[in-house]
Amino acid sequence: MGTRVNQIGLQRNDYKGRPSTLCQGCGHNSISNQIIAVCYELSIEPHRIIKLSGIGCSSKSPAYFLGRSHGFNALHGRMPALATGAIMANRDLTGIGVSGDGDTGSIGLGQFKHMVRRNVPMIYIVENNGVYGLTKGQFSATADIGQELKYAGLNELPPIDICLEALAADVSFVARSFAGDAKQVRELLKAALSHKGTAVLDIISPCVTFNNHETSTKSYPYGKLHEEALQDITFIPEYDPIIVDVHEPGQVQAVRMHDGSHLVLRKLDPVKHDPTDKLAAFRLIEEARIENQFITGLIYVDEHRPNLHETTHLIQAPLVHLTEADLRPSAEALDRVLGEICCQ
């Protein structure tokens, strides 16, 4: 049977996980599908990926993609720390973290910001639906002010903006997307996989059960109607020759990722946002909030900020590959230290 395979001979099915137990139509399922598609398309070896998550419907989803990759479903809000440890232990692994808006925006806000601040090399996806899905529909900290839900009542508090929090913590890659915009999610995932530090993807991912009314900014109907993409994004892997058509200066921007791949951004927004300009990124988010705009796309990228491997001066070999001879100092070393302590 002539089933299609990718460059490393794997079929798309080899990138699937167990059958999803999330609600039919949940945004989280669609993001899982894009992760499968991207890893298949980029011919990523599944054993080089680790999947990490917190607790929530969103955090369950790593069970439903990349079944051949190790994963760890951690604690509510505490995935960043666990991911940090795993990635420090084995720097050859690519971490894909999946969290929710409750997981990241409330209980885990501290860990999230410290992960970003450390620039832990990994992808960190927030599947943002404005509610706590798994505990049945309470408002999360990203819910709109003034929003009303049947069960949760009226939300009188302003939302926390995940992208803004990330920027304030000196993030080196942050984008916002929409689960209903599959192509953009895929291209941003590819770019994130090529990034050398923490890549935060705040993806509006509707909860069809508790928060999908068209008046909610986290719903499918609202997103379909109001999404304003900043750019048309094309990811060009390092092995493809890059052909950037720069006929319209200012309209097209190419961003070189540290692994040699490129992002080609064809700008769609009137201000032609430059995602390498941090102040512009702050302004963009704040203006969109004031104007009630649902902007998506690459908000900020900095390929130069050192990541945690660099700031801890870690050796190139993954720590877990070291043997006893590398790890346990010799008997002579003990004698020397004891000699210094005793000085007899």
Partner 1 sequence: MSDVQTSPLDSLMADQEPVVNDFQIMIATVNGSGSQTANSTLLRAIFRMGVPVSGKNIFPSNIQGLPTWFTIRLSKDGYIARREDYHILVAMNLQTVEEDITNLAVGGIVLYPEEWKIKHKRDDVVYYPVPVKALVDESGTPSSFVSYVSNMVYVGVLATLLNIELEQIEYALNFHFSNKPKPVNMNMALVRLSYDWAQDNLPKNDPFTVERMEGKTDGMLLLDGNSAGALGTAFGGVQVVAWYPITPSTSMIDALRTYLSDMRTNPDTGEASYAIIQAEDEIGAIGMLVGAGWAGARAMTATSGPGMSLMTEFAGLAYYAEVPIVIWNVQRVGPSTGLPTRSSQGDVLAAYFLGHGDTKHVVLLPSSLEDAFEFGWKSFDLAERLQTPVFVLSDLDLGMNLWMGKLFEYPDQPMDRGKVMTAEDIQRAGEFARYKDVDGDGIPYRTLPGTDHPDAAYFARGTGHDEKAIYSERPDDWVANIERMNRKFDTARALVPPPVVDEVAGTEIGLIAYGTTDACIVESRDLLREQGIETSYLRLRALPLSDATRDFIRRCDRVYVVENNTDGQMAKIIYMEYPDLAPKVKSIAYLDGMPLAPRWLTRAVQEREQER
Ligand X SMILES: Cc1ncc(C[n+]2csc(CCOP(=O)(O)OP(=O)(O)O)c2C)c(N)n1
Asked if 312 interacts with ligand X (CB under 6 A), we say no
Does residue 121 sit in helix, strand or coil? coil
Residue ranges in 48-77 that form contacts with ligand SF4 under rule CB under 6 A: 57
**Residue 103 contact, options ligand X, Mg ion, partner 1, none, Cβ 5-8 Å cut-off depending on partner type:** ligand X
Which range of residues in 88-96, 141-149, 205-213, 285-293 is near partner 1 by CB under 8 A? 88-96
Q: How far apart are CA 51 and CA 290, in angstroms?
A: 36
Both tokens assigned to 81: 């720390």
Out of 140, 184, 217, 261, which residue is the one contacting ligand X (CB under 6 A)? 140
Which range of residues in 98-106, 214-222, 261-269, 288-296 is near Mg ion by CB under 5 A? 98-106
Residue ranges in 271-300 that form contacts with ligand SF4 under rule CB under 6 A: none
Q: How far apart are CA 188 and CA 204, in angstroms?
A: 14
Q: Which is nearer to Mg ion, 138 or 293 (CB)?
A: 138
Q: Which is nearer to partner 1, 83 or 152 (CB)?
A: 83
- 136-169 exposure pattern, b = at least 16 Cβ within 10 A, e = fewer: ebbbbbbbbeebebeebeebeeebbbbbbbbbeb
Residue ranges in 110-169 that form contacts with partner 1 under rule CB under 8 A: 110-111, 114, 118
Q: Report the DSSP beta bridge partners of residue 49.
A: 94
Out of 16, 28, 51, 118, which residue is the one contacting ligand SF4 (CB under 6 A)? 28
Does residue 316 sit in helix, strand or coil? coil
Both tokens assigned to 178: 């929409």
Does residue 296 sit in helix, strand or coil? strand
Tell me how far, at minimum, the Cβ of 203 lies from ligand SF4, in Å: 13
Q: How far apart are CA 343 and CA 169, in angstroms?
A: 48
Tell me how far, at minimum, the Cβ of 117 lies from partner 1, in Å: 9
Q: Which is nearer to partner 1, 82 or 255 (CB)?
A: 82
Out of 16, 33, 39, 51, which residue is the one contacting partner 1 (CB under 8 A)? 51
Out of 23, 37, 42, 109, which residue is the one contacting ligand SF4 (CB under 6 A)? 23
Q: Which long-range contacts (CB under 8 A, 24 or more apart) does 209-214 make?
A: 209/23, 209/26, 209/133, 209/137, 210/129, 210/131, 210/133, 210/136, 210/137, 210/149, 210/151, 211/129, 211/130, 211/131, 211/137, 211/143, 211/149
Q: What mask of x and - would describe binding to ligand SF4 in positions 198 to 217, judged by CB under 6 A?
A: ---------xxxx-------
The count of other CB atoms within 10 Å of the CB of residue 39 is 28
The secondary structure of 265-291, three-state, reads EEECCCCCCCCCCHHHHHHHHHHHHHC
Residue ranges in 20-59 that form contacts with ligand X under rule CB under 6 A: 55-58
Tell me how far, at minimum, the Cβ of 101 lies from ligand SF4, in Å: 10
Total interface residues for Mg ion by CB under 5 A: 4
Out of 30, 129, 140, 296, which residue is the one contacting ligand SF4 (CB under 6 A)? 129
Q: How far apart are CA 269 and CA 191, in angstroms?
A: 20
Contacting residues toward partner 1, per CB under 8 A: 14, 18, 45-48, 50-52, 62-63, 67-75, 78, 80-90, 92-93, 110-111, 114, 118, 308, 312-316, 318-320, 322, 324, 326-329, 331, 333-334, 337-338, 341-343
Chain residues in the site for ligand SF4 (CB under 6 A) = 22-23, 26, 28, 57, 129, 133-134, 207-210
Residues forming contacts to ligand X in the complex (CB under 6 A) are 55-58, 76, 100-103, 127, 129, 131-135, 140, 207
